[in-house]
Chain A
């Protein structure tokens, strides 16, 4: 897995902003690789002069980090209050049914990682979902089923994963 190590090193050493921290480094790894491999925790600790315990403490706090490779596609479903009032519960139920899962997590075939989100930031278009990081508003149970089908049929985006 030398390639992975090189990607981790490149990600944490090429951060655009001057202030480099444990959190900024973890976010850079997530952006580049889609998850936080164990090697990244060690390398971030070395770079920032902290311990792996410190790095795990930060990584485990923010729920956008995951620690195993993500699936080919990412689906996020918003359940914030605006979306709730506009029918998010029915949209989520339809999405879960279409994907064939009971809740958050990865499908067993490695095709889709499904997450809930507390606010995707486009409340005027509620209910909102995000399919491979593309926002899609004004969802209904029918639309979200079609969106799931289209997502699974699309090519997996490069640099998948992360929030």
Chain B
């Protein structure tokens, strides 16, 4: 089938789904939906439909964003607007079917909002919800809207057009120019210019070259990579093929942690479907370009997300970082030139190619072009995943988009960029979402995880928890990181027990400096950040623990639990 025929078939299928005879019910079933109980809701919907003897198409879709309201059920009658129901239980699922699906009367009191042209009485537009009002969806454009298991739904919504356009109308050089012009920078944490990175690989004349997509995402508080991969895997697959075409690569891998079944299954399914339709493999869409892609899994290891450790894991070894140089663009996976990009970075690429680099560069703030894909967690009123233009400040993110702290409590701090990103005190809430602005403030915007903590949080206890994570996840290759993390944890546990000693903060600083100087990868180099940033913003609270032997919040007197976990 030519691409024109594929697109026509996809359109036909999409029209019959949205304007055909039967209602379409979408159930949010990404990790967030599953954790909120979407499986039981799905069963209830199916049995309710059967009992009423009505036919409806049910699809498990990805993450629409407002995870706080999961399980979400989205009902669309033929040709009508979608109604998004919140906090659905098996009982309310029955009510929704009986009223909305059977009688055509939406259940206003259960609805979060509607999406579509025609308004619905008593239900607000979802686009007016605080979590949605500031959004600009590029990478998340299809998330929650399409069935991630159906490639035709992706194509019907403009998918693979950028690939077809590139293969037929653009040279690899022209594609590189668009990506350079977009100003796109890596969303995995380092914010390195994607175009520059691709240029390195494009410069190599080796016949076998790799493009890797990093979805290891071990950062607690970050779930946007997994969210994109399970909500819209084809935007990632298309982004990888485009990256391959621009750099002249022959093979690719999507790298996911074993055990995250949703993202793993969606990625595998998407690759298989792309092969079936001739979008992967030999002579893609009849062009001269051939590219092979597969899904590789890692075991539990946070450091696997580091680019050279990731290559070790794909090769089947212990995921420990390599020495650099040589850099991956020269000697990477299986000794071949390799480019590694984060899921989010690659998910932008199809839209950048379709709409042009200048369009993307027109969104954002300073040198941080495009959007920030944020994961909001902690005691916030609205937790979930949002995509907003770079440049919004943290106040807007926390108080407008996330609706502030639950129960009217005060915000104490935010933790950004994964555990290694450290914490930011409330005086920094005017910081704009911008890689440079964050860096200058000593923080990391990183992969977009934002964890809020309220006034009841003890900074020493939280720092101990962050360092406990870092200690557990040190791969053990570099001595300063392996021992340093254990040492930091020991001191922090002592302070938490109110048995800290004068000089403990100095001791931790000395350990931290050694870790920074003597570690191969960011885990050890940035591993002191949680402690140093906590002391910077909350020095007096540490002093109260160490000098006065008291915990101002009382948290350190509560549950005593410190997972004593080390690598076996």
Interface residues of A (CB under 8 A from B): 16-19, 21-27, 30, 48, 57-58, 60-65, 79-86, 89-90, 92-93, 103-104, 116-126, 128, 133-138, 162-163
Knowing A123-B451, A124-B383, say if A118 contacts B313 (CB, 8 Å): no
Are B462 and A17 within 8 A (Cβ)?
Answer: no
Are A122 and B32 within 8 A (Cβ)?
Answer: yes
Are A85 and B379 within 8 A (Cβ)?
Answer: yes
Are A123 and B221 within 8 A (Cβ)?
Answer: yes
Knowing A18-B294, A22-B316, A23-B313, say if A82 contacts B36 (CB, 8 Å): no
Are B465 and A79 within 8 A (Cβ)?
Answer: yes
Q: Please, how many angstroms separate the alpha-carbon atoms of A31 and B524 in the complex? A: 32
Knowing A23-B313, A124-B377, say if A61 contacts B297 (CB, 8 Å): no
Knowing A82-B220, A85-B378, A137-B36, say if A58 contacts B68 (CB, 8 Å): no
Which chain B positions have C-beta within 8 A of A92? 561
Question: Which one of A64, A90, A118, A138 contacts B220 once the chains associate, using CB atoms below 8 Å?
Answer: A118
Q: Please, how many angstroms separate the alpha-carbon atoms of A16 and B268 in the complex? A: 9
Which candidate, B108-116, B242-250, B299-307, B426-434, is the interface stretch facing chain A?
Answer: B299-307
Knowing A58-B316, A81-B451, A125-B70, say if A64 contacts B258 (CB, 8 Å): yes
Which B-chain residue is minimally distant from A122 (CB atoms)? B35
9 further contact pairs, Cβ within 8 A, besides A64-B300, A82-B451? A61-B567, A62-B319, A80-B221, A81-B466, A92-B561, A119-B218, A124-B223, A125-B32, A134-B39
Are A135 and B563 within 8 A (Cβ)?
Answer: no
Question: Which one of A17, A82, A133 contacts B294 once the chains associate, using CB atoms below 8 Å?
Answer: A17
Question: Which one of A58, A79, A85, A120 contacts B451 once the chains associate, using CB atoms below 8 Å?
Answer: A85
Are B35 and A137 within 8 A (Cβ)?
Answer: yes
Which chain B positions have C-beta within 8 A of A135? 31, 34-35
Are B375 and A81 within 8 A (Cβ)?
Answer: no
Considering only residues 378-393 of chain B, those with a C-beta below 8 Å from chain A are 378-379, 383-385
Which chain A positions have C-beta within 8 A of B318? 57-58, 61
Knowing A79-B465, A89-B559, A163-B259, say if A24 contacts B383 (CB, 8 Å): no
Are B299 and A65 within 8 A (Cβ)?
Answer: yes
Which chain A positions have C-beta within 8 A of B319? 61-62
Are A163 and B223 within 8 A (Cβ)?
Answer: no
Which B-chain residue is minimally distant from A117 (CB atoms)? B300
Which chain B positions have C-beta within 8 A of A30? 258
Which chain B positions have C-beta within 8 A of A18? 292, 294
Are A61 and B301 within 8 A (Cβ)?
Answer: yes
How far apart are B78's CB and chain A's nearest CB, in angstroms? 32
- Interface bits B353-394 vs A (CB < 8 Å: 1, else 0): 000000000000000000000011111000111000000000
Are A62 and B377 within 8 A (Cβ)?
Answer: no
Which chain A positions have C-beta within 8 A of B31? 120-122, 135
Interface residues of B (CB under 8 A from A): 31-32, 34-37, 39, 67-68, 70, 217-223, 226, 253, 258-261, 268, 292, 294-302, 313-319, 375-379, 383-385, 415, 419, 449, 451-453, 457, 462, 465-466, 468-469, 472-473, 475, 558-559, 561, 563-565, 567-568
Q: Please, how many angstroms separate the alpha-carbon atoms of A60 and B39 in the complex? A: 34
Knowing A23-B317, A65-B299, A138-B36, say if A121 contacts B226 (CB, 8 Å): yes
Knowing A60-B568, A118-B472, say if A124 contacts B375 (CB, 8 Å): yes
Which A-chain residue is minimally distant from B39 (CB atoms)? A134
Are A124 and B32 within 8 A (Cβ)?
Answer: yes
Q: Please, how many angstroms separate the alpha-carbon atoms of A133 and B451 in the complex? A: 25
Are B462 and A116 within 8 A (Cβ)?
Answer: no
Are A27 and B258 within 8 A (Cβ)?
Answer: yes
Are A81 and B567 within 8 A (Cβ)?
Answer: no
Knowing A24-B297, A84-B465, say if A116 contacts B385 (CB, 8 Å): no
How far apart are A94's CB and chain B's nearest CB, in angstroms? 10
Which A-chain residue is minimally distant from B218 (CB atoms)? A119
Are B563 and A79 within 8 A (Cβ)?
Answer: yes
Q: Please, how many angstroms separate the alpha-carbon atoms of A90 and B218 in the complex? A: 23
Which chain A positions have C-beta within 8 A of B70? 124-125
Which chain B positions have C-beta within 8 A of A133? 261
How far apart are A113's CB and chain B's nearest CB, in angstroms? 14
Which B-chain residue is minimally distant from A23 (CB atoms)? B316
Q: Please, how many angstroms separate the alpha-carbon atoms of A123 and B475 in the complex? A: 24
Are B220 and A23 within 8 A (Cβ)?
Answer: no
Which A-chain residue is minimally distant from B559 (CB atoms)? A89
Which chain B positions have C-beta within 8 A of A83? 220
Are B317 and A22 within 8 A (Cβ)?
Answer: yes
Which chain B positions have C-beta within 8 A of A118? 218, 220, 300, 302, 469, 472-473
Knowing A23-B317, A81-B469, say if A128 contacts B35 (CB, 8 Å): yes
What would be 24 A-B contacts, judged by CB atoms less than 8 Å apart? A18-B292, A19-B253, A19-B296, A21-B317, A25-B316, A30-B258, A61-B299, A62-B298, A62-B301, A64-B258, A81-B220, A81-B419, A84-B462, A86-B378, A89-B561, A90-B559, A103-B564, A118-B218, A122-B223, A124-B32, A124-B385, A125-B67, A134-B39, A136-B37
Which chain B positions have C-beta within 8 A of A89? 558-559, 561
Q: Please, how many angstroms separate the alpha-carbon atoms of A58 and B318 in the complex? A: 5
Are B299 and A62 within 8 A (Cβ)?
Answer: yes
Are B220 and A123 within 8 A (Cβ)?
Answer: yes
Are A125 and B36 within 8 A (Cβ)?
Answer: yes
Which chain A positions have C-beta within 8 A of B301? 61-62
Q: Please, how many angstroms separate the alpha-carbon atoms of A141 and B324 in the complex? A: 47
Select the residue from B315, B379, B568 with max chain A CB neighbours within 10 A: B568
Q: Please, how many angstroms separate the alpha-carbon atoms of A163 and B299 in the complex? A: 9
Per CB-CB distance, the 8 closest pairs between chain A and chain B, nearest first, are A21-B316, A62-B299, A80-B220, A137-B35, A124-B67, A122-B35, A163-B259, A124-B383
